[in-house]
Structure formats: C-alpha cells, structure tokens
Amino acid sequence: MARKGVVMKVKSFLFASIWLAVFFMYSCSTTIPYNIKPINLESSKQATQTKFPYHATFVVVDKTLDYTKYDYDIISVNVKYILPTRFMVLQGVKYYLSPYFKKSDYERNSLELYGKNHIIVEILPNSLYVKENLGFSKKSLDIEVGINSRIYDDNYIVSKPYSVSLKGTYEVTGVFSSFGKDADYSKAAAMSIEKDLEQLGQQIAYILNNQNEIISNVNAAIEKEPLDLENYIILANVSLKNGNYKDAIAASKMIIKLAPNNIIGYDLQARSYYKNAQLSLAKKIFAAAIAQNVQDAKRYYITFLVEAKDYDTAKMIIKQSQIPLNPKVITETLFGVNEYQSAVNILKEALEKQQYNGIGIAFSDVLSNSGYPIIESVNPLSSAVGLVYKDDEVVEINNQSTKNIEIEKVAELVKKEPNALNDIVIKRKNSSDLIKLSIKTQKLYTLDSFSTYAWLAFGNYFLNNKKDFYEYADLSYKLYPNGNISTIAKALVLIDSGSYDKAVDLLDNVDFLAEANILKAVSYAHKKDYNKALSMYKLAQQNYGSVLFDKFKPMFFESVSFFVTENLSTASQLKNQGAYNKALEYYQAVLDIVDDQKKSQIYSNVASIIAANPSVVELNENSKKSFIYAQMYYQENKLDKAIAQLNSVIEKNPFNPNLHHDIALLYAQTQDYKKATEHMNVYLTLLPNANDAQAVKDEMIKWEFKLKGE
C-alpha cells in the first residue's frame, strides 16, 4: 500500500515538474519583429542588349515577406525579419529586365494599344531568408529573396512558372568592425536583388526564344500530371501562336473535358478555329458555351468578335447581354460600326471615374535619410509643374510636419476642396534651404487616363471635331509621353498639321504597332516618297491592328491618291497601245492602295485585257511553285496554310482569275463566306464570260444565305 502511495506521489511530482518546465520555457519565448527598410537600388552598370522589339508589362506583386530566426535557448528570443519587396523588386525590374524589351511598363492599361507580341511578366516574391555570420575578423549578412515568375501573352500563360533565388551578402571586415545598423540590412537586401535579378531576364529571353522546347516540356508534363489544366492551357496557347492548330484544338478540347464550366477551353478552341480560317466554327463553339451557361461565355465571345473584327455581331451581343466589359472592347466595337459619338460619351464617363482632387504629387515608397517623403513624380497636368520637382523632400504640408510619416497618410494632409490653397514646405536635393510654396488643389486625372484621352482624341478626329481632337491628343501625350496610344495620338496631330518628319520620328518609338506603321506610310506618302509609303503599308498589314488601323486606311488611300491617279492614267494609255503586260504592272502597283470602288474599276479594266490576251496573267516559275505548295497543304488538311500560300500567289498575280476562284472555294470550305464571296466577285469581274459563271453565281447565293444565317 505504502509502496503504491510512493509511486503515486512520484508520478504526480513528475507530471507537475514537466508541465512547469514546458510552461516556463514557452512563456519565456518571445519574437521580436525587425523591419528591413527598402532603399534605392543602384542602376545597372552593364547595358543589356534589347532582344525583343515589342512591349512587355511587368507586374510585380506587392508582397511583404518575413523570416523568423528561432532561438532555442531556454529563454528564446526569436527575430522576425520583415521585408516589403515591391519597391526594390520593381526598381530591379526597371534596371535589369526592362532593357530586354523595346518598351515596357509596370501596370496593364485596359485602353492601351500593345500590338500582337505583347507579353506580361508576373513577378511574385515568395520567400525570404536572413543569416548573420559573426566571425572574428569578418562579419557578414546573407539575404535571399525567392521569386516566382510567370509569362503570359495578352490572353493566356505561355510557360510553366519558374523560380529564381536572389542572393546577396553584405560583408564587414576587421576585428573591430561591427554591423547591425538598419542600413546594413537594407543594403544586403538591395544587393541580393541587384545581383541576381538579371537571371530572370535571361530566363524570359530563353522561354520566348525556345517555344518548341516549351511544347515538348508541357507534353511531357501532361503525361505525368494529366489532370493539370495549366499544361493544356500552355499547350493550346503556344500551339496556337506557332500555327499548330491541330494540337491547339486537341488541348482546348481536353480543357473542356476537364473543366466543362470554364470558358478558357471554349475560348482557346474557338481561337484555334478562327486562326485556321474557320470563323463560323469558332462562333459555333461560343454558341455552345453560351447555351451551356458557361460563366463569362458572352464576355469572352464579345472580346473574340472584336479581335475577329466582326463589330456588327459584337455590338448586337453587347446590346442584348448588357454585361460589364472592358472599355476598350466597347470602344473598338463602336468605332467599328462608326458610332463615334456613342464611343466618345462612354469614354467621357470612363474618364470621370479616373478623376480625383489633389495637388498632383506622387511620393516614393521610401522616406529620405532625414525621414521626409520624397517626390517621385509630378502630374504633368497639375499646377505643381514647375514648382516642385522629382527628388524634392516635402518637409511640411499645411503646417504639419511630415517627418517619419507613413506615405499613405501624406495625401490626407492635402486639402480636398477644389481651388483650396495648400502651404507646402520643400527641401531641394543637395540643399538645406527650405522653400515655401502654395499649391492649389485641383481636379486631376490619374496617370493611366492617358489612354482614355487618346481614344477621345481619335473619336473626335473621326467626328471631325478638330479642336477637341487636338486638345485630347495633347493631354494624352503630356500625361504619358511613353504610352503607345498617346504617341499615336500625338503623331496623328503632327500629320494633321503637316509635320510629317516629326511624326515619323515619333512613330519610330512604337514601330511594333500596325497603327504606327500605317501613319508612317501616310507621312511618307505626303512627302511623295511612295516607295517607302507602300512598303510601310505592307508592313502594317502584316501586323495585327486594332480598329484604328482600319480607320486609318482611308487616310492612307487619300494620301496616295495622286500616285494612284498617275498610275491608272499611265496604265490606261498602255492598255490602249496594246502594251498589256506593262499596263498590268501599273494596275498592280496601285491595287492594294485604293478603296473598294477603285479596285473594282481596275479589275474591270484588266478583264478586257485578259479577254484580248489571256496569256498575260500566266504565272511565273516561283508563283507556280507556291501554288503547288498550296495544293500540297490542302491535301494535308492544312487549310490555313493552303490559303496563306494561295494568298501569297495572289499578291504577286492579282489578276489571275483562277486563283481568286480557287481561294474563294477554300474560304467557303472554311465557312468564311464573306471572303469567299469577295474573291468570287473578283473572279467574275475578271472573267465575266466564264464557263461556270452561272454555277458560281448560284453558289454565291447559297453563301449569302449562310452569311445571313450566321
């Protein structure tokens, strides 16, 4: 009994002791936060070679990282390092990644023009590691920032995400040296980002240059993870870009299988059909998605229709569905159906949402060494222009000190009422003098409204409201001269006022856009440099252009009208002289730069030449070869390539009626009845007494019927 009692006592004693020890240990454990302050990075000393002649948008995700260094002594004092990454990573991106591209920005603007090769790079800082090495004669601080990154085109992801580890070591040598000041941690963090961020640029370059490798990697990944949607999305998207529509269609079908309620699969499949010259099928895919109530189906369909330039259908669905849409989609649609006034009204509404009351000063995310906010930029449309400058320190706002203030709270010190005067005290860089200023609060628009201004300028240009056109274009360019669309708007003003050389110089900055190329062609034509004008116009046609490109076409036709008249007159004379081949050369030189009515006249004139001497439209050796390739592609079921090949033959031999006949049938097979009808009309104009004229006409009635049915 006694023995049992002793055992019980020992058990109770042990139990109490253990809990006491555990409690004691954990009650003594404490974690101290340590904020690493972001600092300015040094710009890259080595010039990075621009590798891509187009636009990139870098989206740096705002993320605060932390790392806790645990202390396992009895009385543990843990340190939690905290690093807000965006400021330094964004600077690093500007210095080390942006130079890879002709143009770059750091926020996607919904009304901006980006061109067909635009990419978006998403950068997500995701881990932090800090280590202090306390040696006898050498002390160092290691900081590692982990970054995850993804690349998208304007629609979907184009590669698997990849990670980069940015490592930096800040060292102090000497027996009596010491570190541990705030600046040391900031320097180590800055060094890590400066040192290794260029790796990311090399990765991006590699991915963009090795699309086939991406395809094979993704195919391998699918075999391992066949349920991972992202693999199929990449496969469909990259195959679509590379013109491999069979794989693109297969992958998009699989996406629909795995996620039948996700619009992405339908969208990719429809785009694949469209690129394979099967617009009608693409529409059917969207119709199926809408019928199945797939979320966002109508929104994606409207966006698709705008890209396919079927503005009438897009407008009809916009009206029917009344769903919220990207303002660019609505604007392009309204421009497409020539409803400029409606577009201007919508754009003005959008502009109102970008309005705010303020003094137009933006501050850097970090305070100066003396603890004051630093001016990062001044709104070019504000009255602060000329009074304050970048890098000025703001010491006081309305008699309140700004020392060590949180940046978010600076704006709260500014009076909000319009026309109220604000007393601002500033200190210039490298000067200790204080300058007192009085800046008025005014109605301003955010920096990203430059694109809204530009569209307003274009709307007013087409409405022939010259004053508003000039004003909006000017505001757009002043607000953001680096914008693509603001540059186009400004160039249009220069062309309109006859400054063609200046317009060309300006447009060189955005020569990856079809809109820029056609305006350059207009400028060259006005300068009577028709060769350059024609080659620039051809280049413009190769790039995908927005609705603006189509709307600029009449301007181009007008600018070359003198050249066209001269050529047509010469062609007519040559024809009358019986110099048919020469006459055709003159007709051909202007065929692509006249409007539809003139084009039809040219075909009629050529028809009489063909009737007189059919051999003038025979193909040369190279064209024959291209034609054979078209046949081969057709046999291989590659309709898009067959059409492209045949189009290349037509480009060189625009007056051979049979080529138009054949391509019309190809278009009809892809259910693109609009193009089929266009080409068949050319065939009938060139060969009005064709043996199969009646059969062709009958067939065209069917196409017309199908077109209406759509």
Partner 1 sequence: MRRVFELFVLFVFLNIPIFAYAGAWEQAQELCRQSGGNCNYNIPTPTPSIDRNYSNQPQPSAPKTYTKPRSPSLSPSESMTIGIFGSLLSGLFSGLMNPPDTPNDDYLQAQKQKEYEEQQKLLMQKKQQALKTWHAIKDQPQSETQTAQQNQNPSLGFKTLGSSLVPFKWQNKINPKELDSSITLAQNQSQFDLNHEVQNFFGNRLNDLAQEGGKDFLEKYHKSNILLAETLKERKKIKGLGKFVGDNVYENTIGIASIIVDYKTDGVAKALQSVADFSILKIGIPQANFTLEAGRVYSRSVFNLLDKTLTKISNAVGMDFDFQEFINNNFNAYQKGVYEWLVKE
Residues 615-674 that bind partner 1 (CB under 8 A): 615, 617-619, 621-625, 627-629, 631-632, 634-637, 639, 656-658, 661-662, 665, 668-671
Question: Which lies closer to partner 1 via its Cβ, residue 278 or residue 402?
Answer: 278
Question: Which lies closer to partner 1 via its Cβ, residue 139 or residue 551?
Answer: 139
Among 212, 409, 614, 693, binds partner 1 (CB under 8 A): 614
Closest-CA residue to 362 (of 391, 320, 328, 322) = 391
Query: Which region, judged by CB under 8 A, interacts with partner 1, from 68-76, 455-463, 540-548, 596-604?
Result: 68-76
Could you give the CA distance from residue 138 to residue 171 in angstroms, rounded to a whole number?
A: 7
Question: Which lies closer to partner 1 via its Cβ, residue 178 or residue 631?
Answer: 631
State CA 153 to chain mean position distance: 7
Judged by CB under 8 A, the chain residues 258 through 287 that form the site for partner 1 are 258-259, 262, 264, 273, 278, 280-281, 284
Q: What is the CA radius of gyration of the chain?
A: 33
CA distances (Å), 209 to each of 196, 205, 213, in order?
A: 21, 6, 9
In sequence order, the β-bridge partners of residue 375 are: 363
Over the window 556 to 595, marking each residue x when it contacts partner 1 by CB under 8 A and - when it does not, the resulting string is ----------------------------------------
CA distances (Å), 281 to each of 312, 581, 671, in order?
A: 18, 42, 8
DSSP H or E segment with residue 591? helix 580-591
Judged by CB under 8 A, the chain residues 503 through 542 that form the site for partner 1 are none
Half-sphere exposure of 483 (CA within 13 A, CB side): 31
The pairing of beta strand 442-445 with beta strand 355-358: antiparallel
Half-sphere exposure of 162 (CA within 13 A, CB side): 16
Could you give the CA distance from residue 247 to residue 232 in angstroms, rounded to a whole number?
A: 10
Cβ contact 180:134 at 8 Å: no
DSSP line for 477-493: HHH-TT-HHHHHHHHHH
Cβ contact 448:109 at 8 Å: yes
Among 56, 189, 254, 314, binds partner 1 (CB under 8 A): 254
Question: Which lies closer to partner 1 via its Cβ, residue 63 or residue 478?
Answer: 63
Among 323, 702, 704, 710, binds partner 1 (CB under 8 A): 702
Query: What tokens were used for 584?
Result: 């055709």
- Closest contact distance (angstroms) between CB of 627 and partner 1 is 7
Among 6, 21, 75, 220, binds partner 1 (CB under 8 A): 21
Question: Which lies closer to partner 1 via its Cβ, residue 73 or residue 433?
Answer: 73
- Closest contact distance (angstroms) between CB of 699 and partner 1 is 5
Q: Which amino acid is at 348?
A: K
- Closest contact distance (angstroms) between CB of 168 and partner 1 is 15
309: left (phi over 0), alpha (psi -120 to 50) or beta: left
Q: Where are the alpha helices (DSSP H) in 28-138?
A: 86-92
Question: Which lies closer to partner 1 via its Cβ, residue 83 or residue 564?
Answer: 83
Could you give the CA distance from residue 326 to residue 572 in angstroms, rounded to a whole number?
A: 50
Question: Which lies closer to partner 1 via its Cβ, residue 217 or residue 669?
Answer: 669
Question: Which lies closer to partner 1 via its Cβ, residue 80 or residue 428?
Answer: 80
Question: Which lies closer to partner 1 via its Cβ, residue 202 or residue 262?
Answer: 262
Q: Is 135 in the site for partner 1 (CB under 8 A)?
A: no
Judged by CB under 8 A, the chain residues 674 through 693 that form the site for partner 1 are 691-692
Q: Where are the alpha helices (DSSP H) in 337-449?
A: 340-353, 407-410
If binding means CB under 8 A, how many residues of this protein chain bind partner 1?
A: 96
**φ/ψ (deg, to 5) at 363:** -105, 155
Question: Which lies closer to partner 1 via its Cβ, residue 379 or residue 451?
Answer: 451
- Closest contact distance (angstroms) between CB of 640 and partner 1 is 11
Could you give the CA distance from residue 473 to residue 308 in angstroms, rounded to a whole number?
A: 27
Closest-CA residue to 541 (of 531, 553, 529) = 553
Question: Which lies closer to partner 1 via its Cβ, residue 175 or residue 227?
Answer: 227
Query: Which region, judged by CB under 8 A, interacts with partner 1, from 183-191, 251-259, 501-509, 543-551?
Result: 251-259
- Closest contact distance (angstroms) between CB of 65 and partner 1 is 7
Query: Which region, judged by CB under 8 A, interacts with partner 1, from 99-107, 123-131, 186-194, 567-575?
Result: 123-131
Judged by CB under 8 A, the chain residues 81 through 120 that form the site for partner 1 are 120
Query: Which region, judged by CB under 8 A, interacts with partner 1, from 58-66, 316-324, 514-522, 583-591?
Result: 58-66
Burial of 75 (0-12, 13-18, 19+ CB in 10 A): exposed
The pairing of beta strand 119-134 with beta strand 52-60: parallel
Closest-CA residue to 351 (of 331, 377, 332, 333) = 331
SS3 151: strand
- Closest contact distance (angstroms) between CB of 17 and partner 1 is 5
Residue for token pair 């966006």:
303
Cβ contact 568:590 at 8 Å: yes
Among 44, 48, 51, 122, binds partner 1 (CB under 8 A): 122
Judged by CB under 8 A, the chain residues 152 through 181 that form the site for partner 1 are 152, 155-157, 161
Among 329, 381, 405, 696, binds partner 1 (CB under 8 A): 696
Judged by CB under 8 A, the chain residues 198 through 227 that form the site for partner 1 are 222-223, 225-227
Question: Which lies closer to partner 1 via its Cβ, residue 130 or residue 197?
Answer: 130
Judged by CB under 8 A, the chain residues 467 through 496 that form the site for partner 1 are none
Residue 668: CB atoms within 10 A of its CB come to 20
Judged by CB under 8 A, the chain residues 354 through 413 that form the site for partner 1 are none
Among 25, 288, 362, 644, binds partner 1 (CB under 8 A): 25
- Closest contact distance (angstroms) between CB of 78 and partner 1 is 9
Judged by CB under 8 A, the chain residues 283 through 342 that form the site for partner 1 are 284
> What is the maximal distance between C-alpha atoms in the chain?
137
Among 6, 22, 183, 434, binds partner 1 (CB under 8 A): 22
Query: Which region, judged by CB under 8 A, interacts with partner 1, from 143-151, 201-209, 425-433, 556-564?
Result: 143-151
Could you give the CA distance from residue 547 to residue 539 in angstroms, rounded to a whole number?
A: 17
Question: Which lies closer to partner 1 via its Cβ, residue 157 or residue 555?
Answer: 157
